[in-house]
Structure 1
């Protein structure tokens, strides 16, 4: 059923703002409300058309008045993040993700007009360790995640969403576990990491990474908003890249460090405000993570346009990264070491 009044949280960020713009361009939707504590970027505002920006904090119970007064029937919760704007640290990030979700769900609980809830979650809920399966499915339970951090927040958020779904069985709840976003228009820990001239890696490890192009993330959120797709779905591009391959394709210099020294390297980069590494990010770069997207294609009915490799190449070319060393030189050195013909 096509929604009539949609509320999108997190419109100050890339996904929320651009999703609100896409939904506002749909003539079948009567009204689109975009909620955040900060307005969308100017380039996004120019594309939002009739979407209405509401400066509100979902951590405040007053969000319930926004939902009930507008008779919102569809809510897209896109404000959960691992990359808070400005010098925000752990306490505020947890409040944004967990407390904000709790207040939003409480508001939805009391709003009889709400019929659909779409939640942007993350594949980080699966954790990353040497004991991880080669491929995670939606049935796998969280394991080996840090006691604090974005992954822990996401696990708590999903728990609250499941509780809401039990209390309001009349609401269609869709949970999308996105793999790491990448693209020329997004600013994340991973895009900053691969933009470093010298990229720290864990000595003796070569993580498998699976990426999702930001445009595919927008497309799947839009599709979830417009249709009925209850359930939990992994969302990621086809294929994987080894971390070493990604560094080489970006033309960066790898800097292998001892595993024990990786957290210190993360703190150094965070202190310099270059890349805000968390223990979850360090663990991901150590072990990697790949998810199965069979349900996304067969049940949800969505196939990402970009593969992992294509998404990464679009990020490299779209951001104009200039290689520190020519990738062809890397290939030549590799052939010499391996003794393979050119």
Structure 2
């Protein structure tokens, strides 16, 4: 059985991914809501408040989490109280999560990014390749700047941790309630690619 932890299980994307994964008997879904700092097990076997957890890395290790899906981005579904809070939560929080996952022995980490970083705008519908520099207009959007920094850091982290699979999904807006998500298929496969 694959154990998947979804950070941001209460946002639109996180809840949809959790519902999709729960349909599989071979996937155990754990999650943490962005607004409510409670770690939830969808099979009802345990409920832990993360304020009481001494070591998130130890907890992830004890629960044998194989896939960590980080979908909790301030400014996307939840408005940021300030730019400082947004930066702390998005960029520094993601850096902490990657370190925690490495310490816990998590095999695969999936991070949320945005296709907007690479040029999918109404005025510019063509995409820029990921090995090119992000668009200059990113300087106007703090959230896109955060995504760009996270993408860069994730690539550096993946290069220095070759035993972990780090995947950055540059998601675009999705529509329709019954379309399967590629994210669901990615997290269901318990074996990292070699």
Are the equivalent residues in 2 in contact too, given 1:5–1:71 (CA < 8 A)?
Answer: yes
Q: Which residue of the partner structure matches residue 85 of structure 1?
A: 78
User: 1:24-54 CA deviation, whole Å, 9 max, x = no partner?
Assistant: 231112x3210134349xxxx9xx8526665
- CA drift of 1:137 comes to 2.8
CA distance in 2 between partners of 1:137 and 1:217 (Å): 26
**Matching residue within 43, 55, 65 for 1:72:** 65
Alignment pair present for 1:220 and 2:182? yes
- CA drift of 1:138 comes to 3.0
Q: Which residue of the partner structure matches residue 137 of structure 1?
A: 129
Structure 1 residues 37 and 143: alpha-carbon distance in aligned structure 2, compared to 1, 3 A threshold? closer
Alignment of 1:28-177 (within 5 A): 28-29=26-27, 31-39=28-36, 49-50=42-43, 55-56=49-50, 62-85=55-78, 88-112=81-105, 114-126=106-118, 134-144=126-136, 145-146=138-139, 149-177=142-170
Structure 2 length-normalised TM: 0.78
CA distance in 1 between partners of 2:74 and 2:118 (Å): 16
Aligned length: 186
Are the equivalent residues in 1 in contact too, given 2:120–2:126 (CA < 8 A)?
Answer: no
Q: Which runs of 5+ in 2 are unaligned?
A: none
Structure 1 length-normalised TM: 0.47
CA distance in 1 between partners of 2:116 and 2:60 (Å): 29
Q: CA RMSD in A?
A: 3.3
Relative contact order (alpha carbons < 8 A, sep ≥ 6): 1 or 2 greater? Answer: 2
Is the radius of gyration larger for structure 1 or structure 2? 1
